Amino acid sequence: MKPSFKYILALISLTPLTSSSQDLYPYGDKFPLALYALYTDFATASNNQWNCGHSYHYLPTVPSYYDSCSQNNLYVMARLSRIDSISQKWPQPTDTTIKEIQNQAAESNISWWDLPEEMRYWKTGEMQIVQDYPSLTRAHDPLQRPNYMYIPGHYQATAIENYVQYLDILPASCYTRYQKQPHAYTRWSIERTKEAIASQGYTLGKDYLNNEKTVMAILEIFETDSPLTEEGTWHDFWMSIACDVKGIVVFSHYYRDKSPTLTEAWDTLNDAVSLFKSSRLDKVILEGSSHALNMNIISGPMKTPEFVVVNSTDTIQFEAIKLFAKDWNDTTYLITLNSSNSEVVYTVEDTSEVITYAQDLKSGSLLNFSGSSFTDTLKPLGVSLYKLHYDITSALSERTTQYADITFKPNPFNRSTIITFPNKKAEPHRLEVFDILGNRLRVKNNITTGKLCLKKGELPPGTYIIELCSETQTFTSIPSKAQLKTSLKRTYICVF
């Protein structure tokens, strides 16, 4: 009599983590998530999926700071120095700056060159830094990585125009609490930065060596007279994404644990980054194409609160709801935000009339389109994140791989996946993990439930074979090539 057993094979892909600088946009294809003043706790920052550090008050020492970041899969903003005087800043002697560039250029995990911050365009010496340093990095960095400088958040578009031709990456400072502004200020800051770029005749894009420009949002974690809030921090992160920025930089990691309010803001940003990455919205932003959807407000305020920014008398106001949609991998992703102080009920209409379900990226719940539209409600500063599906099958199968009686969710995965299989009689099962060559890497015995968590642990990125069977079944430790080939015929390959 043959023993009773269940036998299943599956291939699971692990998302690779890299630390080579060519991967960060605009030099590469990875969405930048950077932290100012990252001095300690590099591993936690990396585990929370931040990918770039800045030494802030201290020049990044070579190689110690670079090594600390590289060991934790973090890139480094390569800082350059200046000379200070009472009235203004001045460029270093050219030979000194060249040496500083050459000393750092050999490091493989540079994200971009960071010019001394807040150089004022009306100060001759400071503007000389802005004009000279980018040409020096081009000449003396063999990889010609992009140039960046932090610009104060209160500058109007006309002031930012002075920097556009020299910088590859332009920051949009979104310090809503520091500026004592409503959260619609985040949208204004990003849009005025893009306005400055366009007014100087440049376009947005990653080809910075041919004068295309990149906008990144700078978000706040530090104490101000107007304390940060969880909903405000969540709103400002997603408003930045909905304004199609190509990177997020936070000032600063140093303040993350200086008060309960700042810790809450830090935790909120980590939650936002986790959802952003797990939903593949980083890829959507960098690789997706715009999708036309119509939005109508049914009830609630039509506009955001009015506000006036520094050095201006103009009143600024936006529509209460910001809608952003992009197509990527045959799927439409939708972000909507309410920047008003009251609840808003609105409808979204799909003009193509082919999308039938909206799936909430945070909860996984589904909203059915009525004809070609659906209705949603957003609380003040609320955010909705949806993936729009063409049919119910694609919605229900999202991020789940199922082979006969066994399910892996998610697959592929970064940290862990949940394996579910029928085991009503609580029979003891054994799990084995093999690499693609048939080498056994893990064994777990006496599994008596129908669900278990497989953690990535020490496994490097790659494709793996999972065998799950009853304890009564006999296995070879290393399957022969013939056995492996036979097994693979019954296995689906997950393409990531």
- Structural domains of the chain in order of their starting residue, each with its CATH number: 8-14+399-489 (2.60.40), 31-278 (3.20.20.80), 289-396 (2.60.40.1180)
Question: How far are the Cα atoms of 50, 219, 240, 361, 461 from residue 414, in angstroms, in the given order?
Answer: 14, 26, 25, 17, 9
Q: How far apart are CA 143 and CA 141, in angstroms?
A: 5
Closest CA to 307 of 486, 148, 181, 419: 181
* Helices 124-140/94-105 angle, 10° precision: 40
What pLDDT sits at residue 354?
64
Q: Which residue has the tokens 């400002």?
A: 236
Q: How far apart are CA 46 and CA 50, in angstroms?
A: 5
Q: Which residue has the tokens 């709801």?
A: 321
Taking every pair of Cα atoms in the chain, the longest distance, rounded to a whole number of angstroms, is 92
What pLDDT sits at residue 357?
76
pLDDT, averaged in runs of 10, over the chain (496 residues): 33 42 84 96 96 87 90 96 91 97 95 97 97 98 97 96 98 97 98 98 98 98 93 98 98 96 97 95 96 94 97 95 94 96 94 73 78 88 90 50 64 77 81 73 85 82 74 34 29 28
> Which residues have C-beta within 8 Å of that of residue 420, sequence separation ≥ 6?
406, 407, 409, 450, 451
Q: How far apart are CA 380 and CA 83, in angstroms?
A: 46
What pLDDT sits at residue 391?
60
What pLDDT sits at residue 4?
31
Amino acid identity, residue 204?
Answer: L
Judge whether 212 and 196 are in contact, CB under 8 Å. no
Rg (CA), the chain: 26
Q: How far apart are CA 38 and CA 53, in angstroms?
A: 6
Closest CA to 306 of 341, 343, 346: 341
Helix (H), strand (E), coil (C) string for the chain: CCCCCCCEEEEEEECCCCCCHHHECCCCCECCEEECCCCCCHHHHHHCCCCEECCCCCCCCCCHHHHHHHCCCCEEEEECCCEECCCCEECCCHHHHHHHHHHHHCCCCEEEEECCCCCCCCCHHHHHHHHHHHHHHHHHCCCCCCEECCCCCCCCHHHHHHHHCCCCEEEEECCCCCCCCCCCHHHHHHHHHHHHHHHCCCCECCCHHHCCEEEEEEEECCCCCCCCCHHHHHHHHHHHHHCCCCCEEEECHHHCCCCHHHHHHHHHHHHHHHHHHHCCHHHHHHHCEECCEEEEEEECCCECCCECCCCCCCCECCECEEEEEEEECCEEEEEEEECCCCCEEEEEEECCCCCCEEEECCCCCEEECECCEEEEEECCCCEEEEEEECCHHHHHCCCCEEECCEEEECCCECCEEEEECCCCCCCCEEEEEEECCCCEEEEEEEECCCEEEEECCCCCCCEEEEEEEECCCCCCCCCCHHHHHHHHHCCCCCCC
Return the number of other C-beta atoms located less than 10 Å from residue 439's C-beta.
12
What pLDDT sits at residue 271?
96
What pLDDT sits at residue 5?
32
β pairing state of 214-220 and 248-251 = parallel
**What's the whole-model pTM score?**
0.77
Q: Which residues pair with 433 in a beta bridge?
A: 442, 466
Half-sphere exposure of 265 (CA within 13 A, CB side): 28
Q: The dihedral of CA 47, 278, 236, 114: what is its sign?
A: positive
